[in-house]
């Protein structure tokens, strides 16, 4: 949703040559973008738009979708995942919700018939709104109605196909003046204490992830992998908005990168790392809503960083002035850093 985007070919070359980014996620299956990432080694996740979900339940349509949007780009482009919709349960659209799991299953069958199911997995990302409560983390559960009719069969499918459960945790949206340190990973003494597990939480992201884990465990699927499909922090907001500036965005995303790659894990999921996609590569100058909605980007269109972040291959990160150009490309970024960035 922007008018000033650099060409995908330039973006793909820049990411592969100059950054430590090794996975990207896009919100559609744009062929120009998929061609651009050919032979870069960067793994790509594509998306079936929400409005196509009912059609994907038809096997013939699903097979044609795979033939059009997947097969022509393999193996040059490393497609690893297809997401069916985005935050579908949050739409409250009964047609989309009722067709979500059947669409995922049918798309998987289409991949099986094309002998692609070992390398390309099917999933769908959820907002934390799928939880009816999340605090303390040990008491979290999925919303009644969705839990048994949608989430449980979805988890059965994900487990059987070895695909992850994908969530979009945003500490930014749960932040106030009183808990900013907690959201930014600043606290080392513990802010939230879970009386049930006797565990102490020193950052909001861990609490959100453990809430998801607890909800999965309640349904018997705690062994399904969790992937952070989307998180981030805006660098510009409306004048009166608290905690929205380049310094704070740099702190959240920088600490996020270090935390999820540290191997520490969370209190309920210790000693593990998480695939983590950061929203977003560029700003969205045409996106409606509050100012912050247009300002989640990490880079300007000239490929300089909006703020300092440990994602450049060279030791000196280039940070552009805020008055330079801005843009957005529908790509979300995942980090898997070498030890020098940890």
Find all residues with CB under 8 Å of 288, minimum gap 6, and list them.
none
Report pLDDT for 189: 67
Least confident of 131-135, 200-204, 254-258, 262-266: 131-135
Phi and psi based region of residue 216 (left: phi greater than 0; alpha: psi -120 to 50; beta: remaining): alpha
- CA separation for the pair 123, 205 (Å, rounded): 21
**Separation in Å, CA 14 to CA 149, 205, 230:** 44, 30, 22
Pairing of strands 331-335, 21-26: antiparallel
Q: Residue 301 and residue 123: Cα distance in Å, rounded?
A: 30
d(CA 275, CA 80): 13
CA atoms within 13 Å, Cβ hemisphere of 20: 18
Read off the pLDDT of residues 87-102 as tens digits, 9 standing for 90 and up: 999 999 999 999 999 9
Place of tokens 């905690």: 243
State residue 328's pLDDT score: 34
pLDDT of 322 above 70 = no
Catalytic one of 43, 87, 251, 284: 87
- pLDDT confidence bin for 332, thresholds 50/70/90: low
Q: What is the pLDDT of residues 241-299, one digit of tens each?
A: 889 999 999 999 999 999 999 999 999 999 999 999 999 999 999 999 999 999 999 99
Catalytic residue among 43, 222, 230, 284: 230
Pairing of strands 192-194, 199-201: antiparallel
Q: Percentage of the chain surpassing pLDDT 90? A: 85
Q: Whose structure tokens read 């210790």?
A: 270
C-alpha–C-alpha distance, residues 333 and 229, integer Å: 9
The whole-angstrom separation of Cα 333 and Cα 335 is 7
Give 21's pLDDT tier (boundaries 50, 70, 90): very high
Tokens, residue 255: 């600490």
* pLDDT of 181 higher than 50: yes
The percent of residues in the chain predicted with pLDDT above 70, rounded, is 92
Residue 157 DSSP class: H
**Which residue blocks in the chain are alpha helix, DSSP H?**
8-18, 31-36, 53-56, 59-69, 94-113, 146, 152-161, 180-183, 204-218, 246-260
**Strand ranges (DSSP E) for the chain?**
21-26, 43-48, 78-84, 121-123, 125-127, 131-133, 141-142, 165-168, 192-194, 199-201, 226-231, 276-278, 331-335
pLDDT of the residue at 314: 73
* Average pLDDT across the chain, whole number: 91
pLDDT at 80 over 50: yes
Annotated catalytic residue 87: yes
- Cβ atoms of 295 and 234 within 8 Å: the answer is yes
* CA 13/CA 42 separation, integer angstroms: 10
Q: From CA 330, how far away is CA 281, in angstroms rounded?
A: 7
Buried b (16+ CB within 10 A) or exposed e, 290-321: eebebbbbbbbbebebbbbbbbbeeeeeeebe
Q: How far apart are CA 120 and CA 70, in angstroms?
A: 9
Q: What is the pLDDT of residues 163-179, one digit of tens each?
A: 999 999 999 999 988 89
Q: Is residue 325 over pLDDT 50?
A: no
When pLDDT is cut at 50, 70 and 90, the band that residue 191 belongs to is confident
pLDDT value of position 280: 96
The predicted structure's pLDDT at residue 117: 96
Known catalytic residue at 293: no
Asked if pLDDT for residue 333 goes beyond 70, the answer is no
The reply to whether the predicted model has a pTM over 0.85 is: yes
Homologous superfamily assigned to 8-129+142-172+224-341: Glycosidases (3.20.20.80)
Residue 134 pLDDT level (bands cut at 50, 70, 90): confident
277 by DSSP, 3-state: which? strand
Tell me the pLDDT tens digit for each residue of 61-72.
999 999 999 999
When pLDDT is cut at 50, 70 and 90, the band that residue 320 belongs to is: very low
């Amino acid at each position: 949703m922007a008018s000033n985007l650099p060409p995908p070919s330039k973006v793909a070359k820049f990411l592969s040559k100059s950054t430590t980014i090794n996975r990207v996620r896009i919100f559609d299956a744009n062929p120009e973008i998929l061609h651009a990432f050919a032979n870069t080694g960067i793994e790509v996740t594509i998306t079936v738009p929400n409005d196509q979900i009912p059609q994907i339940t038809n096997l013939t349509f699903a097979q044609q979708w795979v033939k059009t949007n997947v097969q022509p780009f393999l193996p040059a482009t490393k497609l690893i995942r297809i997401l069916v919709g985005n935050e579908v349960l949050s739409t409250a659209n009964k047609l989309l919700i009722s067709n979500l799991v059947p669409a995922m299953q049918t798309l998987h069958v289409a991949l099986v018939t094309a002998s692609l199911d070992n390398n390309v997995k099917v999933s769908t990302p959820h907002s934390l709104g799928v939880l009816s409560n999340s605090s303390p983390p040990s008491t979290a559960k999925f919303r009644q109605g969705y839990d048994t009719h949608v989430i449980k069969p979805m988890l059965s499918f994900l487990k059987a196909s070895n695909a992850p459960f994908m969530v979009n945790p945003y500490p930014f949206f749960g932040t106030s003046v009183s808990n900013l340190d907690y959201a930014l990973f600043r606290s080392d003494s513990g802010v939230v204490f879970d009386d049930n597990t006797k565990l102490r939480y020193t950052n909001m992201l861990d609490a959100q992830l453990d809430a998801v884990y607890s909800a999965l465990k309640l349904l018997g699927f705690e062994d399904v992998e969790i992937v952070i499909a989307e998180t981030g922090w805006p660098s510009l907001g409306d004048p009166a908005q608290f905690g929205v500036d380049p310094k704070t965005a740099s702190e959240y995303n920088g600490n996020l990168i270090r935390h999820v790659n540290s191997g520490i894990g969370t209190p309920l999921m210790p000693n593990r790392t998480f695939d983590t996609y950061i929203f977003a590569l560029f700003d969205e100058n045409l996106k409606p809503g509050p100012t912050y909605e247009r300002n989640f980007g990490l880079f300007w269109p000239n490929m300089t960083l909006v703020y300092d972040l440990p994602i450049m291959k060279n030791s000196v990160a280039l940070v552009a002035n805020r008055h330079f150009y801005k843009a957005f490309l529908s790509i979300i970024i995942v980090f898997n850093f070498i030890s020098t960035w940890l």
